[in-house]
Amino acid sequence: MIVPIVWKDSALFLLDQRLLPGEETWVPINSVDEGAEAIRSMMVRGAPAIGVTAAYSYALAFKKEKWEEGRSKSVCEQLLSTRPTAVNLKWALERMAEEARVHFSNSEFSVEVCFGFLSERARAIHDEDVLMNHAIGRHALELVPDSARILTHCNAGSLATGGYGTATGVIYSAHEKGLVERVWVDETRPFLQGARLTAFELYKAGVPYTLICDNMAGSLMAKSEIDLVVVGSDRIVANGDVANKIGTYSVAVLAHHHGIPFYVAAPSSTIDFELESGANIPIEERSKSELGICHGVRIAPELESIYNPGFDVTPNHLVTGIITEKGVFRAPYEKSLKANRPPA
């Protein structure tokens, strides 16, 4: 299993996902500024992995200075500004900041003790993410038929998390039980996370897969070549609307039309109970060059007339089930998700 995030000798090391699959390069991250840029530039990506990286980056902000509430607030604002759609980023930073506030506000600690405490808390978030991913995979086994042919969109595997994966973690768990005949992998334009990352992961793990272009999914569904769809999510809101990589909504519509189950796999930290509807989710708009330039070659006549949102929203009526570490939730999501909302 590929591990994308490593904490070693008081430094964070990230596998540069922009270079995969051609080059496996580890980059040391020694400051909050470097951590923020790694998230912004998509050196690391995937909502859970962003959250884990943000937690470590928060700790690095206090490697050489004592914790102070004003500084904590500015660090959170800096990291929150990098990727607005992924709610795990906010969740991890709020947890780090609150635990630091409770621990440090009324006590005197050295810089070394502060940094050690924050490093341990970030490590705990990392470890919990891996455990949640494995639990998601276990809960999903009841949904996967024998000889399953599964379609997934984008990358929600070990590269997108602290390890193992959400949607791809479902695939790994099913594969370990001998349930997977084939995984259909959407290429996921324009950043090609499916082609570059999911196919790479499945190849490394020995899971049978076939890479397809994004606009091929409907044709395969019409031919009864797909049994279920499993995707990840960057934010799920209180009514069960789901934000995920652009193109997910199209896949959900196709699956609904063909009577194919459409599942979303994500840790409970991806659920944003503060938003009631997907219409309120902030959608990140990515650089025009990501769509207009490929491997350094311009493929569009000019870049100005390009629209490149990174995500879309799938309405809850198209979602067959939401799989978290707590189980499988079904409509009406306002009730099923609310029943498992953590206490304030």
CA R_g for the chain: 20
Read off the CATH number of the domain in which 20 is found. Answer: 1.20.120.420
> Who contacts 215 (Cβ-Cβ below 8 Å, separation ≥6)?
none
Instruction: Please tell me the total number of residues recorded for the chain in this structure.
Output: 344
Catalytic one of 129, 214, 227, 234: 234
Going by C-alpha positions, the residue among 94, 8, 84 that lies closest to residue 47 is 84
Which of 105, 135, 165 is a domain's end point?
135
Residues 188 and 302 in one domain: yes
**Amino acid sitting at position 117:** F
Four-point Cα dihedral 233, 238, 240, 244, nearest 10: -20
Q: Please indicate, yes or no, whether residues 214 and 89 belong to a single structural domain of this protein.
A: no
> Given the structure tokens 């031919």, which residue do they identify?
223
Q: Which residues pair with 291 in a beta bridge?
A: none
Q: Tell me which of 120, 135, 150 is where a domain ends.
A: 135
Task: Give Cα separations from 294 to 153, 189, 230, 289, 290 (angstroms).
Answer: 20, 11, 28, 8, 7
What are the residues whose beta carbons fall under 8 Å from the beta carbon of 108, sequence distance 6 or more? none
Tell me how far apart the alpha carbons of residues 30 and 56 are, in angstroms, rounded to a whole number: 10
Residue 86 has what pLDDT? 87
Token pair, residue 107, equals 């006590």
Contact 61, 121 (CB under 8 A): no
- CA-nearest of 31, 44, 34 to 115 is 31
User: Given this model, what pLDDT does residue 69 score?
Assistant: 92
Residues 60 and 193 in one domain: no
- Determine the straight-line distance between the first and last CA of the chain, rounded to whole angstroms: 36
**pLDDT-flagged residues of the chain (< 50):** none
C-alpha count within 13 angstroms, C-beta hemisphere, residue 340: 18
Same domain, 211 and 123: no
Number of CB atoms found within 10 A of residue 246's CB: 22
The last residue of a domain, from among 107, 135, 163:
135
| CATH code of residue 181 | 3.40.50.10470
Instruction: In whole angstroms, give the CA distance from residue 22 to residue 36.
Output: 24
Domain of residue 239: give its range. 139-340
Among 41, 32, 81, CA closest to 286: 41
190 and 322 together in one domain: yes
Does residue 241 carry a catalytic annotation? no
From CA 76, how far away is CA 72, in angstroms rounded? 6
